[in-house]
Amino acid sequence: MTVCEHEKEHELAAQRAKANMPGEEEIAKVASAFKSISEPCRLKILFALRQGEMCVLHIVEAVGGTQSAVSHQLRLLKANGIVKSRREGQNILYSLDDEHVLAVLELACAHLQCHI
Amino acid sequence: MTVCEHEKEHELAAQRAKANMPGEEEIAKVASAFKSISEPCRLKILFALRQGEMCVLHIVEAVGGTQSAVSHQLRLLKANGIVKSRREGQNILYSLDDEHVLAVLELACAHLQCHI
DNA sequence: TCAATATATGAATAACTGTTCATATATTAC
DNA sequence: GTAATATATGAACAGTTATTCATATATTGA
């Protein structure tokens, strides 16, 4: 199978794309980050944390599901740098890691609005 | 199991979070959109399309993999409103759907830079 | 130290998803 | 109409992932 011939004007874009493709490692990291925010339960957690930091049981209350499931998801989100946590007495308070996370959430909602 | 008692100052955030939680349908759409950009092969396609619109075989050339796999991924990306396509002769030219997609990609990279 | 509360985690199962292979559809040139 | 090129798709298998259940760890107050 050969590349289409009569689209020479796009050949350049293809070459640039290949030259500028990020390495496998960076691709994997970005993919992992997006994957961590691509499940309904985890997404609900992030939407909840827009309101400020919260302990695990408050999160459970806001998003539904079991404590165990939420805790598993939180671990994944933290491992991917999406949320951060700090201990306060018996509680662990979670919050969005940085402004990028919030910005991505807002962009996603804006994108959906454009596609109604 | 009862909610932690000595964190009354966060109780409000939890209530707001529950009140402002998007509906299941919107959550599912956002999750689906993120899921579609969370696999290495699809992410490569998007990074490639930053250079401009491209036919399928050019995309295959830029990202590697088989034509069939890329085509399956393109269909998923299109179904989620991440890319769009137009026919030109024998070729179907794909491109990023809108500026939100590009912005999200840039944010993800910026986020990673902050976490090195 | 003991009980209570809050959170985390290992293992197992069930559900989901990506890739491959074979094949189908669509467009163009002859 | 036929051959060649470009793209899409259905089915099946393999790998991944989310949830559940049971239990472990950590902190606090008595």
What is the average pLDDT score of chain A?
89
Q: What is the pLDDT of residue B9?
A: 57
Helix A24-36, helix B99-114: angle, nearest 10: 110
What is the average pLDDT score of chain B?
89
- Decide if pLDDT at B82 tops 50: yes
Q: What is the pLDDT of residue B51?
A: 92
CA angle A34, A38, A43 (to 5 degrees): 115
Q: Which of B3, B37, B51 sits opposite A58 (nearest CB)?
A: B3
Q: Cα-atom radius of gyration of chain B, to the nearest Å?
A: 19
Q: Do B14 and A54 touch (CB under 8 A)?
A: yes
Q: What is the pLDDT of residue A57?
A: 95
Q: What is the pLDDT of residue B56?
A: 96
- Give the CATH architecture of domain B8-114: Orthogonal Bundle (1.10)
Q: Which of B17, B33, B108 sits opposite A33 (nearest CB)?
A: B108
Per-domain residue ranges of chain B = 8-114
The pLDDT confidence band at residue B8, using thresholds 50, 70 and 90, is low
**pLDDT tens track for A16-62:** 999 999 999 999 999 999 999 999 999 999 999 999 999 999 999 99
pTM for this predicted structure: 0.88
Q: What is the pLDDT of residue A7?
A: 45
Q: What is the pLDDT of residue A9?
A: 57
The DSSP symbol for B3 reads: -
Q: Do B112 and A33 touch (CB under 8 A)?
A: yes
Q: What is the pLDDT of residue A115?
A: 74
**pLDDT tens track for A59-101:** 999 999 999 999 999 999 999 999 999 999 999 999 999 899 9
Q: Which of B43, B67, B98 sits opposite A114 (nearest CB)?
A: B98
> Residue B58 half-sphere exposure, CB side, CA atoms within 13 Å?
28
Using the CB atom, is residue A72 less than 7 Å from strand C?
yes
Q: What is the pLDDT of residue B65?
A: 93
CA distance B8 to A63: 19
Q: Do A34 and B38 touch (CB under 8 A)?
A: yes
- Using a CB-CB cut-off of 8 Å, the residues of chain B touching A53 are 10, 13
Look up the CATH number of domain A40-116: 1.10.10.10
The DSSP symbol for B21 reads: P
Residues 23-62 of A with CB under 7 A from strand C: 55-57
What percent of chain B is modeled with pLDDT above 90? 71
What percent of chain B is modeled with pLDDT above 70? 91
- Decide if pLDDT at B3 tops 50: no
The pLDDT confidence band at residue A112, using thresholds 50, 70 and 90, is confident
- Using a CB-CB cut-off of 8 Å, the residues of chain A touching B99 are none
**pLDDT tens track for B31-60:** 999 999 999 999 999 999 999 999 999 999
